[in-house]
């Protein structure tokens, strides 16, 4: 009997090799059941007559061993979920978003979903990114990773889709007609600046990025803190650069050139902060003896910087969990009316890059 089953499986594989694709009919032949039974089991559909555990296991084993993959187009045409999630990311080269994509993919994989990725690093990429997730696949939901508030064409196109749209890492003060989950940037910046203030720093610089959403909110929070504590904001202590490692050297040089240089600096992201650590080494500036540095995000590289970076930790798992629930939870639908905007608290992680000023 076992030999006969093996021969049958070989016949199925030979047939599939000719056609180039394993079908549900192939799985049915290998498992020795009707195709309708395979469909009900693999789609987890309700059946009038219960399927035995032995049959269910045999079908699942056959599907796994044959390498069967469901056709998302066929599922969509039948009105069933395609089990595909479209994701458009602001900048896939950013280590923070790389980590976010990984967390999001794992969370949706646990729900049986695969992720289709679109990249919209620049305005010119908007149409291509949307095409990647909408026209090439039938997606059940679309997640935006990063703030796309300024990409009006993209948002207009998304407004006409039937899929649920959810934005992650949008600014807390964003105004878009779909659900979002973001971080409390005001609270994060406040915790970082309170930390530096408690150490005795009063000349605190800021290196941020020219942007909107999260990064703009962090700059605003820095200005509000300095205005409240000192009664004024020294604009000479603010430098805006690209959100990457390389421009930080010029920003640090500019801060060191002011009449009274800062003894500490807060950066809008960990990538900028790591650039500051690198530039400080080039300038023979000792961290944290000569300059304390605090970042924002707590990417993987933050803890292996030299010295390890004090930073504001982003609640990635909580943001992803909330986003998954918005896409697939009991209240998820394509209706964007009264879209909820969830804002979660970050936390400060104190490491070796911050200390009292040398003169304190």
Q: Cis bond leading into 166, ω under 30°?
A: no
Tell me whether residue 285 is in a domain: yes
- Mean pLDDT, residues 98-107 taken together: 91
The model's pLDDT over 176-219, given as tens digits with 9 standing for 90+, comes to 888 999 999 999 999 999 999 999 999 999 999 877 789 999 99
Tell me whether residue 196 is in a domain: yes
On whether both 203 and 307 belong to a single domain, the answer is yes
On whether both 198 and 307 belong to a single domain, the answer is yes
In the beta sheet, which residues pair with residue 114? 84
Tell me whether residue 355 is in a domain: no
On whether both 311 and 205 belong to a single domain, the answer is yes
User: Which helix (H) or strand (E) element contains residue 180?
Assistant: strand 180-183
Tell me whether residue 56 is in a domain: yes
Does the pLDDT at position 256 exceed 90? yes
The model's pLDDT over 280-302, given as tens digits with 9 standing for 90+, comes to 999 999 999 999 999 999 999 99
User: In angstroms, rounded to a whole number, what is the distance separating the alpha carbons of residues 3 and 288?
Assistant: 71
Report how far Cα 137 is from the mean position of its chain's Cα atoms.
Answer: 20
On whether both 190 and 134 belong to a single domain, the answer is no
* Exposure class string for 197-215: b at 16+ Cβ within 10 A, else e: eebebebbbbbbbebebbb
On whether both 47 and 96 belong to a single domain, the answer is no
Domain ranges, residue 127: 84-183+317-344
User: Which helix (H) or strand (E) element contains residue 128?
Assistant: helix 126-134
On whether both 179 and 254 belong to a single domain, the answer is no
Overall number of domains in the chain: 3
| Range of weakest confidence among 100-109, 124-133, 311-320 | 124-133
On whether both 211 and 306 belong to a single domain, the answer is yes
CATH number, domain with residue 286? 3.40.50.2300
Tell me whether residue 360 is in a domain: no
Does the pLDDT at position 1 exceed 50? no
On whether both 125 and 190 belong to a single domain, the answer is no
Q: Please give the C-alpha separations between residue 237 and each of 39, 209, 210, in angstroms, as whole numbers.
A: 64, 14, 15
């Amino acid at each position: 009997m076992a030999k006969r089953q093996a021969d049958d499986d070989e016949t199925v594989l030979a047939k599939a090799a000719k056609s180039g694709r394993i079908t549900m009919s192939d799985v049915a032949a290998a498992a020795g059941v009707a195709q309708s039974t395979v469909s009900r089991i693999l789609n987890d559909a309700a059946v009038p007559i219960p399927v035995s555990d032995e049959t269910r296991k045999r079908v699942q084993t056959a599907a796994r061993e044959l390498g069967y993959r469901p056709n998302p187009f066929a599922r969509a045409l039948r009105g069933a979920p395609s089990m595909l999630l479209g994701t458009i990311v602001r900048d896939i080269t950013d280590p923070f978003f790389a980590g976010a994509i990984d967390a999001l993919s794992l969370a949706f994989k646990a729900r049986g979903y695969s992720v289709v990725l679109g990249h919209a690093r620049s305005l010119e990429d908007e149409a291509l990114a949307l095409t990647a997730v909408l026209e090439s696949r039938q997606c059940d939901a679309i997640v935006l990773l990063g703030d796309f508030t300024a990409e009006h064409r993209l948002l207009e196109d998304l407004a006409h889709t039937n899929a649920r749209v959810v934005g992650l890492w949008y600014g807390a003060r964003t105004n878009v007609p779909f659900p979002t989950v973001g971080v409390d940037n005001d609270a994060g910046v406040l915790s970082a600046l309170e930390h530096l203030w408690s150490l005795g720093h009063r000349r605190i610089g800021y290196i941020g990025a020219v942007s909107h959403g999260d990064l703009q909110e962090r700059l605003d929070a820095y200005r509000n803190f300095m205005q409240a504590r000192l009664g004024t904001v020294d604009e000479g202590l603010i430098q805006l650069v690209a959100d990457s490692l390389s421009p930080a050297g010029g920003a640090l040089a500019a801060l060191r050139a002011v009449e009274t240089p800062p003894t500490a600096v807060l950066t809008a992201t960990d990538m900028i902060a790591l650039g500051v650590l690198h530039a400080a080494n080039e300038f023979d500036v000792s961290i944290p003896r000569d300059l304390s540095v605090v970042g924002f995000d707590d990417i993987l590289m933050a803890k292996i910087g030299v010295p390890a970076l004090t930073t504001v930790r982003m609640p990635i798992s909580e943001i992803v969990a909330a986003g998954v629930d918005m896409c697939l939870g009991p209240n998820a639908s394509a209706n964007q009316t009264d879209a909820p905007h969830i804002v979660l608290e970050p936390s400060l992680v104190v490491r070796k890059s911050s200390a009292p000023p040398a003169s304190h």
